[in-house]
């Protein structure tokens, strides 16, 4: 993908991750942010162009990588689509399912590709688990358990505004709603509870997903104190065996098949192998240049937002939310 022109919109934590990963993939880069001073600092640090306006950025690039706060995704994506530029959009695709549908619609109408950036699909243990599910090693999935925790995001105030971010149930656990559906299929019912007021302290949530297949996924997450470690684990149980893993350093994927055989799957990346952000963005760039499919589709991004929106509503009302025909 060397030489593909990418414009990153935003200058925060994720934008910086994407800029470094695009550069590692050999892209020609420019950055634009409403915080012009921060964009200029990043551009100077990376030796790239800082665009003065969004329009200037879109004139430069073939792919616009949208790393703005969630509630700003739709207008930026619409501007990129109108300019005929392909779009990578950070998760969640939008703050609401209705807006996510509009994000997809504006890209489809303009004939540009849209790639929701669900990076966990590119983390080795999850990929290894997906491959085992695809092979039928575990048989029919009956139960999944996914957990995720880490320090509360404090690098930008918008996370504390649930109208903008959706809070923990949307912004953090969207990763696991996507993985649960990747491994066990579409969700039809969502029940959720949340603890914490979203005002800067510790926050926790638990979500139970009922899949169309009858499988049940139990998802839990924590935004903890500054300095707490990033952790994630997952277990899958099927009628042909079970699989257990974590993604913290030093963990592996263990799988027990129905006959009682235990295997450890080789998941550590080879020396020099790309990290998950690099692999994700390389996949999207390859899809643009070849016209092929990427690992994450617009429909996947929309489905994750529908589940997240249902979780937020369930936690607010105390009742389970049905997702009928793909709509909450």
What is the average pLDDT value for the chain, to the nearest integer? Answer: 91
The pLDDT of residue 250 is above 60: no
49 CB-contact burial (10 Å; exposed 0-12 / middle 13-18 / buried 19+) = middle
DSSP 112-147: --EEEE-GGGGSHHHHHHHHHHHHTTT-SEEEEEEE
Higher pLDDT among residues 196 and 309, named by residue:
309
Residue 220: what pLDDT?
Answer: 97
Token pair of 177 as six digits: 């709603």
Q: Which is more confidently placed, 218 or 156?
A: 218
What structural domains and CATH numbers belong to the chain?
Answer: 5-117 (3.40.50.720), 120-271+304-322 (3.30.360.10)
Reading the block at residue 172, the tokens are 């953090």
In order, the DSSP letters of 55-89 are: HHHHHH-SEEEE-S-GGGHHHHHHHHHHTT-EEEE
Residue 197 has pLDDT above 80, yes or no: no
Tell me if residue 257 falls in helix, strand or coil. Answer: strand
In terms of Cβ atoms closer than 10 Å to its own Cβ (0-12, 13-18, 19+), residue 290 is exposed
């Amino acid at each position: 993908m060397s030489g593909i022109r990418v414009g990153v919109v935003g200058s925060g934590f994720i934008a910086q991750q994407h800029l470094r990963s695009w550069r590692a993939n050999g892209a020609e880069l420019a950055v634009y942010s409403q915080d012009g001073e921060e964009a200029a600092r990043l551009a100077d640090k990376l030796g790239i162009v800082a665009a003065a306006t969004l329009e200037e950025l879109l004139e430069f690039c073939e792919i616009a990588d949208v790393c703005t706060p969630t509630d700003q995704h739709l207008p930026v994506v619409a501007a990129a689509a109108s300019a005929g530029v392909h779009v990578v959009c950070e998760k969640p695709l939008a703050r609401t399912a209705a807006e996510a549908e509009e994000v997809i619609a504006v890209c489809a109408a303009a004939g540009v590709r849209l790639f929701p950036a669900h990076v966990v699909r590119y983390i080795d243990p999850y990929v290894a688990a997906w491959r085992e599910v695809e092979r039928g090693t575990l048989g029919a999935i009956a139960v999944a358990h996914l957990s995720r925790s880490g320090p509360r995001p404090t690098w930008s105030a918008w996370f504390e505004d649930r109208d903008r971010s959706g809070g923990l149930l949307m912004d953090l656990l969207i990763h696991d709603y996507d993985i649960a559906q990747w491994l066990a299929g579409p969700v039809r019912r969502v029940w959720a509870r949340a603890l914490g007021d979203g005002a800067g302290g510790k926050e926790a949530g638990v979500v139970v997903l009922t899949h169309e297949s009858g499988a049940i996924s139990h998802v839990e997450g924590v935004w903890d104190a500054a300095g707490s470690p990033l952790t994630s684990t997952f277990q899958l149980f099927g009628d042909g065996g079970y699989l257990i893993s974590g993604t913290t350093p030093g963990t592996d994927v263990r799988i027990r098949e129905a006959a009682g055989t235990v295997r450890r799957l080789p998941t550590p990346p080879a020396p020099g192998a790309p990290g998950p952000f690099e692999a994700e963005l390389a996949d999207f760039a390859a899809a643009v240049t070849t016209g092929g499919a990427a690992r994450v589709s617009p429909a996947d991004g929309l489905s994750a937002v529908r589940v997240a929106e249902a979780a937020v509503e369930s936690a607010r009302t105390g009742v389970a939310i049905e997702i009928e025909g793909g709509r909450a």
